Amino acid sequence: MTVQIDTLPALRLLLAEQRRQGKSIGLVPTMGNLHAGHVSLVTCAKAQCDFVITSIFVNPLQFGPNEDYARYPRTLPADKTVLETADCDAVFTPAVAELYPAGLEQQTRISVPHLSTLYCGKSRPGHFDGVCTIVCKLFNMSQPDVAFFGLKDFQQFFLISRMVADLQLPLSLVGMPTIREASGLAMSSRNGFLNADQREQATAIFATLQHIARLIRNGERDFPQLERLALGQLAAAGLRPDYFHVVDRTSLLPAHSQSLELVLLTAAYAGSTRLIDNVTVEAPVHG
């Protein structure tokens, strides 16, 4: 049985009882509309922790004024069924007023400098401050031993890891691989916005990432040229590319000539739906 709670006092009470019983606590923060990617997080959490709580909260602080906060899919009854099936112990479903009792304007914010202004942060100013703030609050509220995130949001996971290190928060993080549809399209709650044509166009995102990764593995190192090639491929498929960057995944900064551990980060619009994806790639060492 998945217990549902929606207030902070109820959350604290429930988790204090688990801790009193000596149980380790795993937290899976989500915005709901759960898909196979989320299920993989819960499954991993169940394997590692005695008590697993999933939070479902569409966080207004991480959406810009012209973004899709209002139309973001909210599917709580279906989500609860998914969590029951995944044997999740509890689900935390707070209202906005529960987490932001003083309103959004006056909310203290957590900001990871510089890195949160690159890539997705450049197109979505303030987005990562909203993410880090809510994630830090969820960590404080539930004090998990381990928290689980999907690596589709590679930059998000990197920034949360940096926040945890910088604030010396007492928990560990697990990043889980992206789960894909048969077409290669990364699972996302926003895929539900796509019509059949856009869904087809969107397959070019992973195909392009794989193509560029192959070229790098084959020794190509002109990263600006590869980025231009990728943007062209995304556009040719009918998408509106936002960015495509070859990034050093040890620093999250643009890759330089010595970078070997890379991640290709991209975002592109299919119609009005913004999709993100990434693949990691090791550059060959030149002798």
Give contact residues for ligand PAF (rule: CB under 6 A).
29-31, 59, 62, 131, 134-135, 153, 156
Min dist CB 13 to ligand PAF, Å, is 23
Between CA 234 and CA 245 the distance in angstroms is 13
Closer residue to ligand PAF (CB): 44 or 215: 44
Between CA 234 and CA 42 the distance in angstroms is 33
Between CA 207 and CA 200 the distance in angstroms is 11
Min dist CB 101 to ligand PAF, Å, is 18
Closer residue to ligand PAF (CB): 40 or 59: 59
Q: Is 38 a catalytic residue?
A: yes
C-alpha 157: how far from chain center: 6
Strands 261-270 and 146-150: unpaired
Closer residue to ligand PAF (CB): 38 or 245: 38
Closer residue to ligand PAF (CB): 127 or 255: 127
Min dist CB 120 to ligand PAF, Å, is 11
Query: DSSP H helical segments within the chain, as ranges?
Result: 8-20, 36-48, 76-85, 96-99, 120-123, 127-142, 154-166, 196-217, 223-236
Closer residue to ligand PAF (CB): 161 or 210: 161
Catalytic residue among 38, 127, 211, 245: 38
Between CA 199 and CA 205 the distance in angstroms is 11
Min dist CB 138 to ligand PAF, Å, is 8
Min dist CB 130 to ligand PAF, Å, is 8
CB 247 within 8 A of CB 263: yes
How many other CB atoms sit within 10 Å of the CB of residue 228?
12
Closer residue to ligand PAF (CB): 122 or 211: 122
Strands 172-176 and 51-56: unpaired
Min dist CB 243 to ligand PAF, Å, is 18
Count helices and strands in the chain by DSSP H and E runs: 9, 9
| Residue 169 DSSP code | -
Any idea how long the chain is? 287
Residues whose CB falls within 8 Å of the CB of residue 57, separated by 6 or more in sequence, listed in order: 29, 30, 31, 32, 92, 93, 94, 99, 134, 138
Active site residues: 38
